[in-house]
A and B are shown apart, each in its own frame.
Chain A
Amino acid sequence: MEFGPILRALLRNKLGVMLIALQIAFTMTVTVNAVYIIDQRSERMARPSGLDEANIFHLSSVGYGNNFNESVASTEDLALIKAIPGVVDVTVMNAIPVSGSGSSTGVGIEPDRPETSVQTAMYTSDENVLNALGLNLVSGRAFSTNDVRRGGRDMERSHSVAILTTALAERIYPGEGMQAVGRTIHSPGGRTMEIIGLVERLQTPWPESSFIEQSMLIPEVVDDGSTLYIVRTVPGERDRIMTEVEELLAAQGHERILRNNRAFEETRENSYRLDSVMATILYVVIGTLMFITAMGIVGLAVFSINRRRKQIGTRRALGATRPDILRYFLLENLLISGSGVVLGAVLTLAFNMFLVQTFDMPRIDWFYAPVGMLLLIILGQLASLAPAAKASGIAPALATRSV
């Protein structure tokens, strides 16, 4: 291997080499951190909500006339929807998971001790909620019809039952979360709730929240002029039933507006739109940087080869085979890329520390830098392959020509 002579020759032509090495280092710094951000976002977007997402849609009914009776309309609507072939179940709720809008409260094991309380999303619904959302009950029981309270905003709420996510139970009872059924928790205003069940997962309405897995279901249906229906269908029937439900409810009159008839997947997509747009932008940035860097490497290699055509011919005359010449230029690129990625690794970590300190981002995993180094070296080798192959085709007879 010709590491020594190539390195010494490169050190005598520092400027071009340094510029390309810096470009590689910069590309690596941006690329590795951008990939890490994309991975973080993708991981967030891939978190399961706990719902049977592919088969759920929701629809709101908002009354506007003086004769609108929400309780009557809701009872009729639920019966009509449930009777449609292909509907697994239907429920009413105060909020949609991962939609961006909902209610939260604090719960704790002691009353009136807000400093010990744990933050949680609070969903109100009826006895059909587990089946209608497709939630997995891992302990205790579901709501019964008798558990569900119905009334206006001012109905009595001092005591009720509740179903918690396992994440919330574990947070309230560290190490004993799975034994939470039967225990009592308290929320502000002197309200007590007996835990009757635990579900494996039910995300909060807020994808950005730090307590996304901490949710609580309360058996309440509040008449406040607006009803949100969540409908679960058998697989493959969702889109058809969405249309059918809207037409059916519209035909009932009731002086109300039907709106937001959407598949849960669409709601979820909307909530994560910013993440997905950011990932796309970062992919474009990475692609552009990689392309520019590859072109820079090609440019330097072509310039360097054209400048040394006679030298290459002389090397061939002195006994270099075509593979020897190919190897020489790939090795030369390896040294340039190698110095770039070593500098890039340092800059990557420094830039990540800046992001951690400034934007409270998580620290980059250790393997991102070596993987980035390897990828940039492969990019460098691929970019210099064509010029190196061209150089290896230079005829040895060039050594005796006066060019």
Chain B
Amino acid sequence: MLKMHNINKVFRTEVVETHALRDFSLHVAEGEFVTVTGPSGCGKTTFLNIAGLLETASSGQYLLDGEDVSALNDFQRAKMRNQKIGFIFQSFNLMPDLNLFDNVDVPLRYRGVKAAERKDRIERALDAVGLLSRKKHLPAQLSGGQQQRVAIARALVGEPRFLLADEPTGNLDSNTAEGVMELLHSINSQGTTIIMVTHDAVLASRSARNIQILDGRIIDDRRAHQKAA
């Protein structure tokens, strides 16, 4: 599903050069639920951005769903994000002026899906996260947990094969976070590959695979059966 080989990412300014990722290699198989942990500034978000085609690597090879994405232009990358990747952000990133229905509609519009099909998909996605009855509400009228559920509905509505979650529970209380995690595990159980960046060691320990990053390198890559062993 995802293959990174010797990925480097360097941020350059006039005075300083920062290596966010160094010879970063990773293989994530289809259907896996991988958590990524590490201290602040270790390169988690950079990895997520490159994996989600939000940024390009400075060097190295990245195959997503078998396709080498290194040579794709901006337009092709946008289309690939829209068709294959779902995003869940720490602060939800909902459009405050749009109601829930219109928020979930955003990725479908960029895909050019017809209105009737969009309506059907949006209602199914909102129903899946238990918020269909509030589809005309604005994000500000919902709790944090509910907003994250809307963001999950938005990520799922395009039926992506690959879901990237950036600290999805970081702004939620523990009970709400638990609900969101259950939802993500349920989505994963239906075949969607998930990579989740988190600070929360407890959540990380519950995933089938956990990767630890330090100074732009993978320092640990454990699978659940290894931990159990």
Listed in ascending order, the chain A residues whose CB lies under 8 Å from chain B are 2, 4-5, 8-9, 12-13, 310-311, 314-324, 395-397, 399-400, 402
Contact = CB atoms under 8 A, between A and B. Distances in A.
A305 to B, nearest CB: 14
Nearest to A324: B110
A397 B49 contact: yes
Given A314-B95, A318-B110, A400-B48, 12 more contacts: A9-B97, A314-B87, A315-B110, A318-B106, A319-B107, A319-B110, A320-B78, A321-B110, A322-B78, A395-B55, A396-B55, A402-B91
Contacts of B74: 321-322
A317 B81 contact: yes
Contact of B93 (A4, A314, A323): A314
A311 B93 CA distance: 7
Nearest to B103: A5
A239 to B, nearest CB: 65
A307 to B, nearest CB: 10
B166 A400 contact: yes
Contact of A318 (B75, B81, B102, B166): B81
Given A2-B109, A5-B105, A319 B79 contact: yes
Contacts of A320: 78, 82, 110
B89 interface: yes
Contact of B78 (A2, A314, A321, A402): A321
A311 B103 CA distance: 11
Listed residue (B45, B54, B154) with the most chain A CB atoms within 10 angstroms of its CB:
B54
Interface residues of B, number: 34
Given A322-B74, A400-B45, A317 B91 contact: no
Contact of B107 (A9, A311, A318, A400): A318
B81 A319 contact: yes
A399 B78 contact: no
Given A318-B82, A318-B87, A318-B107, A397 B54 contact: yes
Contacts of A2: 109
A396 B81 contact: yes
Contacts of A324: 78, 110
Nearest to B115: A4
B146 interface: no
Interface of B: 45, 48-49, 52-55, 74-75, 78-79, 81-83, 87, 89-91, 93, 95, 97-99, 102, 105-107, 109-111, 138, 154, 158, 166
A9 B106 contact: no
Nearest to B78: A321
Most chain-B CB neighbours within 10 Å: which of A323, A399, A402? A399
A400 to B, nearest CB: 5
A322 B110 CA distance: 11
A320 B105 CA distance: 12
B97 A317 contact: no
A321 B79 contact: yes
Contacts of B79: 319, 321
Contacts of A5: 98, 102, 105, 109
A400 B109 contact: no
A336 to B, nearest CB: 14
A295 to B, nearest CB: 24
Given A5-B102, A399-B54, A400-B54, A314 B82 contact: no
A176 B82 CA distance: 79
A8 B96 CA distance: 11
B89 A314 contact: yes
A286 to B, nearest CB: 35
A402 B93 CA distance: 11
A4 B122 CA distance: 16
A316 B82 CA distance: 9
B10 to A, nearest CB: 15
Contact of B54 (A9, A12, A317, A323): A317
B107 to A, nearest CB: 4
A4 B105 CA distance: 11
Contact of B87 (A13, A317, A322): A317
A43 to B, nearest CB: 49
Nearest to B53: A396
Contacts of B138: 12
10 smallest beta-carbon distances between A and B, as pairs: A319-B82, A9-B97, A319-B110, A397-B54, A314-B93, A321-B78, A5-B102, A318-B107, A396-B54, A397-B55
Contacts of A13: 97
A317 B110 contact: no
Nearest to A393: B74
A317 B154 contact: no
Contact of B99 (A8, A311, A322, A402): A8
